Amino acid sequence: MQHVREIIDTIINHRLKQLLKEEGYRKTARTFRYRGDDFVRIVNVQASPWNSSGDGKFTVNLGIYFPKLAETHDFMEVKQNPTESDCLVFERIGFLMPIKRDFWWPVKNTSSASKLGDELAESWLRYGKPWIDRHSNLREARRFYLDRYDFPYIVAMMSVVLGDFGMATQMANKVIADHPEMFDRVSTWARKYNVKLGSAG
């Protein structure tokens, strides 16, 4: 009888691998990458670290990596082969599905790999692909970030890359107002990128 990890690989290979290959993604282990002119799309199938030989689960992580955003970040390195954990713009597929929460597909060593493979592929086509395609545009990614997270420092960095220095100033000032202990860090960053603190633009 197959180990759960082998079944998960079979599930991925059933349809998802071919769908992503047709779109130009390249596979490394369970991570797929598509390189655009100014972004890298990442689709990662994550197995639970607590999976056993006969029982387990997996989910899908989605991310868009922007090299110019990584360059503008004061603590990030530019990666040639980023993973989903390197992405500032990311989402788990369950939050894009109607359930709107984290979702893991259960797998047993008696599971039908073809059935789960079909479910995985359809979830990618219906929920994952539209999200990752749309947010590969940094302006759309910034809108998502504003709606989803409360990290104005990242929004300031996105705004510098977009050339929107008014928004960069607004967000940098918000960081300092909310977190005075970050004044030195934000001020150093702002000087480097000609972001004028203490003003509207």
pLDDT tens by residue, 156-187 = 999 999 999 999 999 999 999 999 999 999 99
3: left (phi over 0), alpha (psi -120 to 50) or beta: beta
Residue 197 lies in a domain: no
Exposed (0-12), middle (13-18) or buried (19+): which is 153, by Cβ within 10 Å? Answer: buried
199 domain residue, yes or no? no
Is position 77 within any domain?
A: yes
| Residue 199: per-residue pLDDT | 56
| Mean pLDDT on 74-98 | 95
Q: Give the whole-angstrom CA distance, residue 149 versus residue 151.
A: 6
Q: What is the DSSP letter of 29?
A: T
Cα–Cα distance for residue pair 13/25, rounded to 1 Å: 14
**Cα–Cα distances in angstroms (integers) from residue 59 to residues 13, 53, 71, 97, 174, in the given order:** 15, 17, 30, 12, 35
Do 37 and 119 belong to one domain? yes
> 87 and 176: one domain?
no
Q: Assess if residue 144 is contained within a domain.
A: no
Indicate whether 79 pLDDT > 80: yes
Statement to judge: residues 96 and 40 lie in one domain? yes
- 153 in helix, strand or coil? helix
Q: Are residues 112 and 160 both part of a single domain?
A: no
Chain centroid offset of residue 49 CA:
20
Cα gap 5→192, rounded to integer Å? 47
The total number of structural domains in the chain stands at 2
48-67 confidence digits (pLDDT tens): 999 999 999 999 999 999 99
Q: Do both 84 and 175 map to the same domain? A: no
User: What is the model's pTM?
Assistant: 0.93
> pLDDT band at 40, cuts 50/70/90?
very high
157 in the same domain as 133: no
Note whether 110 and 33 are same-domain residues. Answer: yes
User: Residue 2: pLDDT band by 50, 70, 90 thresholds?
Assistant: confident
Q: Give the end of a domain, one of 96, 115, 137.
A: 137
Residues 18 and 111 grouped into a single domain: yes
In tens, the pLDDT along 107-135 reads: 999 999 999 999 999 999 999 999 999 99
Is the same domain home to 40 and 122?
yes
- Quick one: what percent of the chain has pLDDT higher than 70? 98
Average pLDDT, the chain: 95
Q: Are residues 101 and 164 in the same domain?
A: no
Residues 151-156 have a mean pLDDT of 96
Q: Is the pLDDT of residue 201 over 50?
A: no
Looking at the fold, whether 166 and 129 belong to one and the same domain comes out as no
Domain extent at residue 71: 4-137
